[in-house]
């Protein structure tokens, strides 16, 4: 048996590496509050790098096929446009009596994630290519859903803050640019041995990059939570209940639709992960009487990250490669 390299060790123990990064970042955030600024500045570039590394493993030819997969798109629509909004509204109305906190809860739970969900879904064996192909639809869908839902449930002040700018910026910076860079790198790797070696090294660095993204996300935001901790603690069970229920309901929906295993895993992650990094600028634009909505969004991020780490182990067990259920077997094509 050969000696395990540092990269192989990190890959094998990646969940523990990520949990350690989250815990360390939380501790630094409490002890060194001034570290939040640099961490926030580093978060978007790190997330862009991580998505570039993720897209390197996505065959470009699969993207157009993802938009033609009606069953997969139906699964995403059912989970993200029907089940998640109904559950989010019920939880917000029943369990969150504070109006300002309720606005934050609605903002974040009504918006499916389009960035790190691609990373976590891929790590759990989900189909990153089809999920990536659907990201414009997910962004456009939440732009349409948020204003009427917020106007009905939280008033016109909340609905009026929804603008296309942050969604377009997120798509350009976190999806389009890393994807174009990955396509160029794939072309280089196909033509030059040196390119193939560089791509191999970059892909091997996904675990440390993911750990840095998680640490930056926690470190940049935990300081916003501490001053209002007593008021915000009640949101933790709300977000946990949402994530757990979406895991179960998403799994059941995928089984009912007979989705293939990689597609089903991607849909489950999409149902759980929310678009906190994109909606936070919108929430910060709310009037002063709703200022508590922003920390409410931050709490969701801090709850979601450890939960997604748990799903890296849980989802492959809920949707294994070989099962005796109605989920279709994994297709032979590469993910």
> Which tens digit of pLDDT belongs to each residue from 24-62?
998 999 999 999 999 989 988 998 898 898 888 777 767
72 falls within a domain: yes
Rg (Cα) of the chain, in Å, rounded? 19
Q: What is the pLDDT of residues 190-208, one digit of tens each?
A: 999 999 999 888 888 888 9
* Confidence bin at 332 (pLDDT 50/70/90): very low
Q: How confident is the model at residue 65 (pLDDT cuts 50, 70, 90)?
A: confident
Asked, for residue 18, whether it belongs to a domain, the answer is no
pLDDT band of 120, cuts 50, 70, 90: very high
Give the total number of structural domains in the chain: 1
Q: Does residue 261 lie within any of the structural domains?
A: yes
Asked if pLDDT for residue 1 goes beyond 90, the answer is no
Is position 13 within any domain? no
Confidence of residue 249 (pLDDT cuts 50, 70, 90): very high
How many Cβ atoms are within 10 Å of 291's Cβ, its own excluded?
Answer: 14
What residues form DSSP beta bridges with 274? 112
Mean pLDDT of 138-156: 83
* Of 212 and 324, the one with more pLDDT: 212
Residue 327 lies in a domain: no
Q: Is the residue at 105 inside a domain?
A: yes
CATH number reported for the structural domain that contains residue 265 in this entry: 1.20.1530.20
Average pLDDT of span 103-120: 91
Domain-embedded: residue 144: yes
Residue 330 has pLDDT above 80, yes or no: no
Mean confidence (pLDDT) of the chain: 87
pTM: 0.81
Range of the domain at 48: 36-318
Residue 42 placed within a domain: yes
Q: Which residues on adjacent β-strands are paired with residue 328?
A: 260
Average pLDDT for 63-89 = 92
Window from 191-205, 208-222, 260-274, 278-292 with minimum mean pLDDT: 278-292
252 pLDDT band, cuts 50/70/90, is very high
Q: Which long-range contacts (CB under 8 A, 24 or more apart) does 154-160 make?
A: 154/99, 154/102, 154/103, 154/106, 157/286, 157/287, 157/290, 158/103, 158/106, 158/107, 158/286, 158/290, 158/293
User: How far does Cα 314 stand from its chain's mean position?
Assistant: 16
Cα of first residue to Cα of last residue in the chain, in angstroms, is 29
Task: Specify whether the CB–CB gap between 73 and 241 falls below 8 A.
Answer: no
């Amino acid at each position: 048996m050969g000696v395990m390299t540092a990269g192989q060790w990190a890959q094998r123990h990646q969940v523990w590496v990520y949990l350690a990064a989250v815990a360390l970042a939380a501790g630094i955030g409490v002890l060194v509050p001034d570290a939040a600024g640099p961490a926030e500045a580093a978060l978007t570039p790190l997330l862009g790098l991580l998505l570039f590394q993720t897209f390197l493993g996505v065959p470009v030819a699969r993207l157009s096929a993802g938009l033609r997969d009606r069953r997969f798109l139906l699964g995403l629509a059912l989970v993200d446009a029907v089940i998640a909004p109904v559950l989010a509204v019920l939880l917000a109305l029943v369990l969150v009596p504070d109006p300002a906190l309720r606005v934050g809860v609605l903002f974040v739970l009504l918006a499916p994630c389009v960035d790190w969900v691609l990373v976590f879904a891929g790590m759990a064996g989900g189909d990153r290519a089809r999920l990536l192909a659907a990201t414009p639809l997910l962004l456009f869908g939440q732009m349409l859903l948020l204003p009427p839902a917020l106007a009905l449930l939280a008033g016109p002040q909340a609905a009026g803050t929804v603008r296309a700018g942050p969604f377009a910026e997120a798509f350009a910076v976190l999806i389009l640019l890393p994807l174009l860079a990955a396509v160029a790198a794939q072309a280089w790797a196909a033509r030059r041995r040196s390119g193939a070696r560089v791509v191999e090294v970059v892909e091997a660095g996904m675990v440390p990059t993911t750990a840095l993204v998680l640490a930056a996300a926690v470190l940049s935001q935990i300081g916003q939570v501490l001053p209002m901790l007593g008021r915000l603690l009640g949101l933790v069970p709300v977000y946990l209940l949402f994530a757990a229920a979406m895991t179960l309901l998403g799994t059941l929906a995928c089984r009912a639709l007979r989705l293939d295993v990689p597609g089903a895993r991607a849909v489950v992650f999409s149902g759980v992960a929310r678009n906190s990094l994109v909606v936070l600028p919108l929430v910060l634009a709310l009037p002063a009487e709703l200022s508590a909505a922003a920390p409410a969004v931050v709490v969701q991020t801090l709850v979601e990250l450890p939960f997604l780490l748990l799903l890296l182990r849980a989802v492959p067990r809920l949707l294994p490669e070989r099962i005796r259920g109605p989920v279709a077997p994994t297709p032979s094509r590469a993910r």
